[in-house]
Structure 1
Amino acid sequence: MLSQLLQLFLAYEHDAKVKLVILKGNGKAFSAGGDIAEVARLLDSGDWRLGLKATAEVCKLLYLIATYSKPQVSIVNGKVMGRGAAIYVSSRFRIATENSIFSMPETALGGVPENSYFLSRLPRFLGEYLALTGAQLDGPEMLACGIATHFVPAAELAMLEQELLASIGALTSETTSSCDDLISYVSSIISKYSIQPALKERGSAWHNMDVIEKCFSKSTVEVVSSLEKQATDIDGDNPWLTSTIESLKKASPISLKIALRSIREGRSQGLGECLVQEYRIACRIARGEISTDFRGGFTALLVDRNRIKKWEPSELELVSDQMVDRYFSKLEDDDEVKELELPARSNLPTINVQL
């Protein structure tokens, strides 16, 4: 499916009859990240090259969507997780509803979230929080935190789509003289259906942004201790804080360190550089030469349904800088895989999220 999406996006961009691309889920979820099961099976059977081929296509798809020259709308009216979340945040227009649930839970499986370019540009270290904890955000939180660009009630989605299709289909070259005009036109239509939803009264990431900024600005080892100190300093229970600490302690230690470094380095990298780096990480994970946490984590959590997983290394303190460095090292000829090559694109994205 991801391969077909890549081919469709390429074809539509060069099709003069296509003025707008809408991406949405066919069912209750936009994407629940189900592709991870197939990739893990390929790795477990020794077909890691096929798993990497899928990863390379995903990187190219993310690059294409983020630099798309035509208006592109992604609508999430259910769960969006893992690679589905990485695709969603690459879109220019990102619509959420009251049914939306966003999560990037890869570290709990021994993996690393994709799209460090976007995550690294979320303010107040929110990207680190989402990537390391795999925390779930609902629709109103997605909008407040900058994950979504618009919030549209689910009951209004059908009317929104109808107006988009009818209005865009009726446009002529005289009506819109440039792609920017078309993007502005699409934005104005979506805004007609958008509302500012109410947030939970308490217990959300939005209400704990000060804690996120204070604690997730630390290095990986210090994040947990900083959160624990925060918990002892407050009066009364804070379920959000307790849940955040538990999520970090259950995650793969090496995944936490890789994810944090990926986001930190992503801040000074362009989109293409981030994707090349993520592909290098995926290659090291696929081959399992440094750690087999991904293969073991997937089996324990999704196949055997056993929530008890022994990570290797088992503690953050046992993950050396040298181990992490290997995940980011350039792919050499003897690695059996080549560096990811991305085509030149002129429409590079600019992400500006304000909280």
Structure 2
Amino acid sequence: MSNPVPAAATDPVVSNPLEVATKMGGVQRSAIFLMSLGEADAAEVLKHMGPKEVQRVGAAMAQMENINRSQVDSVLRFFIETARNETGLGVGVDGYIRNMLTQALGEDKASGLIDRILLGGNTTGLDTLKWMEPRAVADVIRYEHPQIQAIVVAYLDSDQAAEILGYFDPKVRLDILLRVAGLTTVQPAALQELNNILERQFSGRSGSQTTTMGGVKVAADIMNFVDSSIEGQLMDAIKEVDEDLCTQIEDLMFVFDNLADVDDRGVQALLREVSSDVLILALKGADEKVKDKIFKNMSKRASELLMDDLEAKGPVRISEVETAQKEILTIARRMAESGEIVLGGKGGEEMV
């Protein structure tokens, strides 16, 4: 990619070169940075990212329009400054990746990049499912034994697993989630058999160690992403079968209102990763305690602007609010897994 991000005819003059990048979201900065690299280097970076991250960056790349040289320069400066302040660099861990990268880079350039990512050499049958759309995964496992279905659902990311459950009948959903909650480890022979089944369709190789997966926490994580129209029905069904298990799952679920229990430093870190448009939508349906927590951890000027934007926004669909809240929760869980913040919901560990 000799010149993937052409300069505009006239670039705006910015007093602080980092200001432009600072106002961008992290995904947008990543997209610009990757598009400023050559194909081989971009592929090396993307190899270390998981399906969800690659999909988000790919989508951002596809939406890039009129990127000027000052924006690219600001992003590169931002990256350098971040690298200087860190002891090490790391990149975190879906279904639309092929289309997204093709739109962003063109079919010829994207094809080589996609091959490097998807055919990297360590993909098992289970891992390949992470790159598929939830409906397609549901079709793959629909006629497998319920225990196989549970292992697959437990293995995949919680948001993808939740969407997959949406393509099954209520009774099947209940059976799968109960089995997920009851899982602890999977024996090598069982995992090998499952990979063999999947690898008849996909490439890869499987490991030989006992794998820990499933459990009540995984079931709770999946429930966090289940569509609200399904969540209540599914929890009621679990309660009928096992009231104690239902309570355990509820205690471990982290919902948007639980953000009020996150410490101030964590909220500030989270806000740096959330775009203002998503935050406004999410707060339209938020509890007052959550709003107060957010406003408290912003500058006076920023909180006033946010309040004005909330009032000016007007009525929005509940589905839009839920989508925005889930996006923020996804970021919060990712940051919690990497140790950047501590979630303090009902299932959070007490601090002394």
Higher helix proportion, which one? 2
Q: Same fold (TM over 0.5)?
A: no
Task: Tell me which structure has the larger Cα radius of gyration.
Answer: 2
Higher share of residues assigned strand: 1
- The two structures have a TM-score, normalised by structure 1, of 0.28
Which structure is richer in relative contact order (CA contacts within 8 A, separation 6 or more)?
A: 1
